[in-house]
Amino acid sequence: MELRHLRYFVMVAEERHFTRAAARLNMQQPPLSQQIRALEQELGFELFIRHAKGVDLTVGGEVFLREARDILVRVQQGGLKAARAAQGIEGTLRLGFTSSAASHPLIPKIIRRYREDYPGVDIALNEGSARVLTDNVVSERVDIGILRAPVADPAGVAYHRLLNEELLLTLPVGHRLLAGKGPVSLRDLADEPLILVRRPGAPGMYANFLQACRNAGFEPNVAFEVERMLTNVSLVAAGAGVSVVPASMRGFHEHSVAYRSIRDAKPRLVAPITLVCRELHQSPQVANFIALARELGAEYRKEPL
């Protein structure tokens, strides 16, 4: 049984006449009658009562008409849905993010714009560390990860850098290094207890900061290692030490924490925003999100500070 057989049957049922149905189907009446006979033989019962003025549906034909129409509608809807999915305007996008990356204003802007442009795509959101998100992209549990610096370089994975922002020193209000109003020299941190995100979580920024300290002539005093950047700001607010965070986190604990630029750092201390995804066989939903993110990232970089 083929879909065309169902279409032939529905047309005859609607017209109650083989000749009129054949005309609407743009075919001859004898082949149409033969196709309906073949369908009846396959089903094992007659679909029509034939008479001089045309045809009427049998009891079995009435039931089969409802089913045939339902099948044809579902096939049509399925084709439309598949076409929309192939264009990336329907389907699902599994999006992961780190808390520090999500704190940047560009990220909610991208997600909100994507929802507006592709309302038929369901977005599944989940939070994790940069390493977990990267692993989930590799294992295809996540389509796109939004993180700061890449933490690994597995085969088959692509990274898209959207922007770099300044890495700021974070100090508790009243700290001695806040006596001046300008940037703080990296050398002034030689005796300060540091609160940093642990190595597996963000080795890129972490490693660059530690190397900059060593290049400045001192071994950094890492007092605490935490899982997330939001935690280190809370510990700074509690007076447990000082830290470094991306500039977009400047507003956290604003009454108990102060933020300063860092001078004399080599290498330059930056906090990137990076997308991670599979390099090959990207779905249209993924491709559309990446294109939009790159577009909005370029616009954001042009905005005045």
Residue-wise pLDDT tens digits, 146-163? 998 888 889 999 999 999
Q: Are 259 and 182 in contact (CB under 8 A)?
A: no
Query: What pLDDT does residue 40 have?
Result: 86
160: helix, strand or coil: strand
Residue-wise pLDDT tens digits, 169-184: 999 999 999 988 889 9
Lowest mean pLDDT among 18-22, 26-30, 88-92, 282-286: 88-92
- Fold that domain 3-86 belongs to in CATH: Arc Repressor Mutant, subunit A (1.10.10)
- What separation in angstroms does the CA of 28 have from each of 6, 57, 150, 159? 17, 21, 66, 60
Residue 167 near residue 262, CB atoms below 8 Å: yes
Cβ–Cβ < 8 Å for 193, 221: yes
Query: pLDDT by residue (tens digit) across 61-113?
Result: 889 889 989 988 888 887 777 776 677 778 899 999 988 888 899 999 999 99
C-alpha 75/C-alpha 81 separation (Å) is 10
Helix axes 106-117, 284-302, angle to 10 degrees: 130
| pLDDT over 90 percentage in the chain | 45
In the chain, CATH 3.40.190.10 sits at 163-271
- The CATH architecture one would assign to domain 163-271 is 3-Layer(aba) Sandwich (3.40)
Q: What is the pLDDT of residue 192?
A: 94
Domain span(s) for CATH 1.10.10.10 in the chain? 3-86
Number of H helices, E strands in the chain: 10, 13
Q: Write the pLDDT tens digit of every residue in 269-304.
A: 888 999 999 998 889 999 999 999 999 999 988 765
Q: Among candidates 162, 216, 221, which has minimal Cα distance to 192?
A: 221
Residue 200 — very low, low, confident or very high, per pLDDT cuts 50/70/90? very low
Residue-wise DSSP of 83-94: HHHHTTSSEEEE
Burial 249-277 (b: 16+ CB within 10 A, else e): bbebbeeebbbbebeebeeebbbbbbbbb
Res 258: pLDDT: 94
Report the chain's mean pLDDT, rounded to a whole number: 88
